[in-house]
Amino acid sequence: MNSWWKMRVGNYEMRFTPIKSPIQVFPKCDGEGNILKEKEQPQKAWSDRFSKEEIFRLINGKPRAKLPRTKEVNKFIECSDNEFEDLITERFFVVDCPLLLEKLQNECISIKFPFSFGNGFKVYVAYIHTSRLYENVLFMSMGMGSKIQVIKELIGDIKNRKVFESVEMSLKGIKRATAEELMEITAK
């Protein structure tokens, strides 16, 4: 369930909630794909994290070892120059590549591909794209979820107003500091 906050902007009463990427959890398994029970799973201390012990996760029915860091991309998809706007951006970079900048600007496209930082089992969708605000600058946006997936769930939640009314009723009577009160405290 999402937390909704109330806010007033001018004459407009509104509520807002964060959009977060859905987290996909893969079960731990051995090299043959057998899911490990909790007591069978290797318990690694932080100081042990560079040991040679292989950890696997069951992904699409196959045991997979930790993903390596992406250093080269040979397969990518050309897409619309605004498709990246549906991405829930978790990481954001400036890219220096004049040849790619020229191609993306001339063809009004972006490119997307999978990316891993090599520290586990997370695969990001990476988009390299231009900006409407900053001319002649390339950016790379990365995330694991799309806004439309989350929005569809939220619209379903919004239709069920009784749930929100019950949450709002449970919060009445709680005295919380306002932003103005907190600013006064920190100014002293």
pLDDT tens-digit map of 136-162? 999 999 888 888 878 877 777 666 655
Rounded to whole angstroms, how far apart are CA atoms 126 and 138?
13
Please tell me whether residue 77 adopts helix, strand or coil conformation: strand
Asked if 152 contacts 86 with a C-beta cutoff of 8 angstroms, the reply is: no
**Does the pLDDT at position 68 exceed 90?**
no
Q: Which two tokens stand for residue 26?
A: 């893969």
Within-domain flag for 52:
no
Cα separations in angstroms, 28 against 24, 49, 62, 99, 136: 13, 16, 11, 42, 45
- Model pLDDT, residue 35: 84
Within-domain flag for 49:
no
Within-domain flag for 105:
yes
- Report, as an integer, the average pLDDT of 107-129: 88
Within-domain flag for 92:
yes
Asked if 65 contacts 56 with a C-beta cutoff of 8 angstroms, the reply is: yes
Of the pLDDT bands very low, low, confident and very high (cuts 50, 70, 90), residue 2 is low
Q: Is the dihedral of CA 111, 115, 117, 118 positive or negative?
A: negative
**Does the pLDDT at position 112 exceed 80?**
yes
Count up the domains in the chain and report the number: 1
**Does the pLDDT at position 81 exceed 70?**
yes
Within-domain flag for 168:
no
Rounded to whole angstroms, how far apart are CA atoms 61 and 63?
7
Cα separations in angstroms, 130 against 47, 76, 142: 42, 16, 14
Average pLDDT of the chain to the nearest whole number: 76
Q: Which has the higher per-residue pLDDT, 68 or 22?
A: 68
Q: Which residues contact 187 (CB under 8 A, 6 or more apart)?
A: none
Q: What percent of the chain shows pLDDT beyond 90?
A: 20
Within-domain flag for 30:
no
Within-domain flag for 109:
yes
Within-domain flag for 57:
no
- Model pLDDT, residue 11: 73
- The pTM for the full model equals 0.66
Q: Which two tokens stand for residue 14?
A: 């509104």
**Does the pLDDT at position 170 exceed 70?**
no
Task: Identify the domain containing residue 142 by its residue range.
Answer: 67-149
**Does the pLDDT at position 46 exceed 80?**
no
